[in-house]
A and B are shown apart, each in its own frame.
Chain A
């Protein structure tokens, strides 16, 4: 089956610093990747849609200058949280959409990255 990895799995950083999270599709090419954020005991909220070779599309209320997304290849998307603050502490999950979607469960989720900003 399709596998998506994320790195790091958890990270602690100081307020004001930037953190980069990587999302990789390991055995398939993903023209589209999605970034979600999940606060404790809440559901996943879509932050942005990342398309290979083009600018990401951000959901309403998500600051594009704070959450920088780069999708430089068909297997890698990165999310950089810039000038992180404690309120950015959350569980960040990416998913990748398989290029050939005859497969109906087309979004494959990564294992998530736990970010804690102190």
Chain B
């Protein structure tokens, strides 16, 4: 099975940086995804890591360490619209995604 942990909530100020950590213990690993989800909407893809290291994509970056079962999502230059839930998801060998409970990020002015 899959066990995916991430913090429940985080608060940060507009323009700041926030790092959301995700640790996982899985029976199979075929990539780690980060999604953004606004209330009442479907998740939207943010990033994908399958090899160790940092993937940068504009204001968002994601890091993976497979040996440590650890990933983080870094959000830079926070904007009010970044207030949302951020989901860490691990894909197994059958291409199924298991999601963490999500981290609610609140951006304050």
Contacts and interface: CB of A to CB of B under 8 A. Distances in A.
B97 A107 contact: yes
Q: How large is the interface on A (under 10, 10 to 19, 20 to 34, 35 or more residues)?
A: 20 to 34
Contact of A91 (B40, B44, B87, B102): B40
A110 to B, nearest CB: 6
Indicate the member of A44, A45, A112, A114 with the most B CB atoms within 10 Å: A44
A111 to B, nearest CB: 5
Nearest to B46: A105
B41 to A, nearest CB: 7
A109 B42 CA distance: 6
- The secondary-structure label for the interface of chain A is strand
A109 B50 contact: no
Contacts of A114: 40
Interface of A: 32, 34, 42-46, 49, 91, 93, 95, 97, 104-107, 109-112, 114
Question: What 10 pairs across the A-B complex have the smallest Cβ distances?
Answer: A109-B42, A43-B99, A43-B101, A105-B45, A44-B99, A112-B42, A43-B102, A111-B42, A104-B48, A93-B42
